């Protein structure tokens, strides 16, 4: 069975609790449950994790090199600062999807440049939890394409 890791960065555990509603109304456990259910439908094992710590995220990306076929990441605030996360992602051999709940280009200018996009196969932003679920479906296709040598 294929295995996919989905990493969430700092403060993602607060999704649904932000009074501004920037990250929707679903709580982080609800988002995790929806992603786990979609992965089960798609037929792969999902490691869905969250940390507020850059080094923990880097350790998990390195772990994924050994055990996962694809990687999705919402590095949250570290998206705009972390060369170290970029370097870890560049060492991951499979497809990578960068995900954001919000449309980061509609927000403050400091959110407009992602360090990690250089390592990403694609980017999904602005679709809330729907984007996470679309990302899982896209990852399923990307892994299948990598297996057959097909794809763009
Ligand atoms: C999540 C965060 O926590 C922010 O720091 C980013 C991202 C955007 C998101 O949209 O999921 O700027």
Q: Look up the domain containing 134 and give its range.
A: 3-148
Query: Mean pLDDT across the stretch 29-34?
Result: 97
**pTM over cut 0.75:** yes
Report d(CA 104, CA 106) in Å as an integer: 5
Token pair 């399923």: residue = 140
Structure tokens at 94: 């499979």
- The atom of ligand 1 lying closest to the CA of 9 is 3
Count of domains observed in the chain: 1
- The answer to whether 100 is a known catalytic residue is yes
Name the DSSP class of 73.
Answer: E
CA 129 to ligand 1 centroid distance, Å: 13
CA 101 to ligand 1 centroid distance, Å: 7
- The atom of ligand 1 lying closest to the CA of 22 is 10
What CATH number does residue 28 fall under? 3.40.50.9100
Q: What percent of the chain has pLDDT over 70?
A: 99
- Kindly state if the Cβ of 114 falls inside 6 Å of ligand 1: no
35-67 tens-digit pLDDT: 999 999 999 999 999 999 999 999 999 999 999
Rg, C-alpha atoms of the chain: 14
On whether the CB atoms of residues 58 and 52 are closer than 8 A, the answer is no
Q: How many CB atoms lie within 10 A of CB 129?
A: 19
- The answer to whether 23 is a known catalytic residue is yes
110-130 tens-digit pLDDT: 999 999 999 999 999 999 999
3-class DSSP state of 77? helix
């Amino acid at each position: 069975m294929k295995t996919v890791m989905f990493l969430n960065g700092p403060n993602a555990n607060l999704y649904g609790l932000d009074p501004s509603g920037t990250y929707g109304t679903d709580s982080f456990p609800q988002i995790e449950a929806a992603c786990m259910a979609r992965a089960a439908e798609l037929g792969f094992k999902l490691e869905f994790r969250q940390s507020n710590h850059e080094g923990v995220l880097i350790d998990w990306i390195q772990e994924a090199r050994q055990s996962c076929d694809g990687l999705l990441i919402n590095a949250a605030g570290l998206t705009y600062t972390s060369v170290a996360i970029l370097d870890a992602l560049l060492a991951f051999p499979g497809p990578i999807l960068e995900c954001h709940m919000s449309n980061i280009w509609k927000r403050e200018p400091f959110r407009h440049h992602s360090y990690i996009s250089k390592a990403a196969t694609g980017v999904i932003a602005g679709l809330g939890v729907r984007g996470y679920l679309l990302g899982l479906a896209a990852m399923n296709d990307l892994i299948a394409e990598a297996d057959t040598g097909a794809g763009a």
